[in-house]
Amino acid sequence: MILSMSAEHQPQSHLTETPEEQPISDDILTLPNLITIVGGLCSIYGIRNADTIKGIAALIIGELSDKLDGSLANALDQRSKLGIKLDPIRDKIVAAAALLKLSQEGSASKAMVGTIAGLESTKAIATAVAEYKHNQLPEESEPLRPTQAGRISSALVATTTTLLIIGSSAESLGYQKTAKTLKGLGKLGFAAYVPAAAVAAGQYVKRARDLMNSDQKQ
């Protein structure tokens, strides 16, 4: 309450903008967007070559870059319409590559792979429908953003699949204790992911339905 009262008495120019309030540009070639693309390529390379030290390093770098691009965009005031769309697309492509790897190697149960695939597919389809309907709105409309649950579930699925993939690689290299620890952490990540992804999927389906209904009323 004290903080909010003091903020109200400050000049507007001194208030710090939240990420949602910062201007969003039409720029394409920005440092955060470049990090998103290069980081995604590193993740995919790492997933495909996770049985090597170079591959594991690339996978870790790719996942760290996914945490860096958004923070950097806010810090440098380089939030862009492309970046808002690019980041979740990158997450879904990397998640699909990781699931394919886990399925091929049997590093995760069929139930785990199926659950992740189902939830991520629901989020992706609902987002695609919402984007299609949103693009028919006036140009001044705010771009669609991932919800908080969507951001959390994306981070958790990336962490979960990374731990399971590296754990499987550690096992093949003879590091049994390390492999057991990593796989255990991966299962914990999965347990946290499911409710977050379920909430996000519900939110995205509702958003798509609302946009479709609003289009029908016009």
State the Cα angle at 146 between 109 and 27, rounded to 5°.
120
Q: Among 80, 87, 82, which residue's Cα sits nearest to residue 36?
A: 87
Range 160-175 average pLDDT: 90
Lowest mean pLDDT among 11-15, 44-48, 59-63, 94-98: 11-15
Give the start-to-end residue ranges of the domains of the chain: 81-217
Give the integer Cα–Cα distance in Å for 113 and 167: 16
Q: What's the pLDDT tens digit per position in 25-57?
A: 777 788 888 888 999 999 999 999 988 889 989
The model's pTM is 0.77
Q: What's the pLDDT tens digit per position in 95-154?
A: 999 999 999 888 899 999 999 999 999 999 999 999 888 878 776 567 788 899 999 999
Confirm if 84 and 145 have CB atoms less than 8 A apart: yes
Q: What is the pLDDT of residue 11?
A: 40
